[in-house]
A and B are shown apart, each in its own frame.
Chain A
Amino acid sequence: SAVISQKPSRDICQRGTSLTIQCQVDSQVTMMFWYRQQPGQSLTLIATANQGSEATYESGFVIDKFPISRPNLTFSTLTVSNMSPEDSSIYLCSVPAVTEAFFGQGTRLTVV
């Protein structure tokens, strides 16, 4: 199993600013995923954070808006840049395992 510590748990931010979300895993993992969950919706994959290489973004998500760092095998950050109210969502990091995925507790972001 994997235990993921995600920070912050929630934040209220002004539009036009940026927020960096951190995820720390208690073991080394090859891949980490970042998801967005808009209000009342399901999870949508933003990108795969690869250690030692650029993140791989899903359709509709771009690096300029959601830059990702992966400096080592236990840590990753997702930045939500130049925020607008439409970015208000829960953001979750996740690591896959053989039969299940493990998730951080989520960051509830409100942009005002």
Chain B
Amino acid sequence: SQQGEEDPQALSIQEGENATMNCSYKTSINNLQWYRQNSGRGLVHLILIRSNEREKHSGRLRVTLDTSKKSSSLLITASRAADTASYFCATAPGGSEKLVFGKGTKLTVNP
């Protein structure tokens, strides 16, 4: 079953703009992860935020986590055409190593 719900499902922006994607989840978590998938290929891990963290940065990525609302957001700043991909949040309920993925946001960055 889907743990996370992402919105928007699709996002189209111009190069240089910021892209914000949101994710909600249902159960308690130890951490939340974000992944990127290019054109239906394998997923690549972007960033992990632990349940005791509220915000984390990695390069042009900024992730926030609100455990009281069971939600997270991924911000990509100064987007590039190469950022065009689908982005998924994932959690491991109950500390399991099995990941449960959100529905994903398909991001298109127009040059």
Contact = CB atoms under 8 A, between A and B. Distances in A.
Given A41-B103, A42-B103, A42-B104, A105 B98 contact: no
Contacts of B2: 42
A105 B88 contact: no
Contacts of B88: 42-43
Interface string B72-111: 0000000000000000101000000111111110000000
A45 B100 contact: yes
A31 B40 contact: no
A52 to B, nearest CB: 17
Contact of B48 (A6, A31, A92, A100): A100
Nearest to B86: A42
Interface in B33-61: 33, 40-45, 48
Interface in A31-79: 31, 33, 37, 41-45, 48
Contacts of A103: 42-44
A12 interface: no
A105 B48 contact: no
B61 to A, nearest CB: 14
A6 B90 CA distance: 22
B51 to A, nearest CB: 13
A43 B42 contact: no
Given A92-B43, A106-B41, A108-B40, A99 B100 contact: no
Interface of A: 4, 6, 31, 33, 37, 41-45, 48, 90, 92, 94, 96, 99-106, 108
Given A43-B99, A106-B42, 7 more contacts: A4-B42, A31-B97, A43-B101, A45-B100, A96-B97, A103-B44, A104-B42
27 contacts: A4-B42, A6-B42, A33-B99, A42-B88, A42-B101, A42-B103, A43-B43, A43-B88, A43-B99, A43-B101, A48-B98, A92-B42, A94-B43, A96-B97, A100-B33, A101-B43, A101-B90, A101-B97, A101-B99, A102-B45, A103-B42, A103-B43, A103-B44, A104-B42, A105-B41, A105-B42, A108-B40
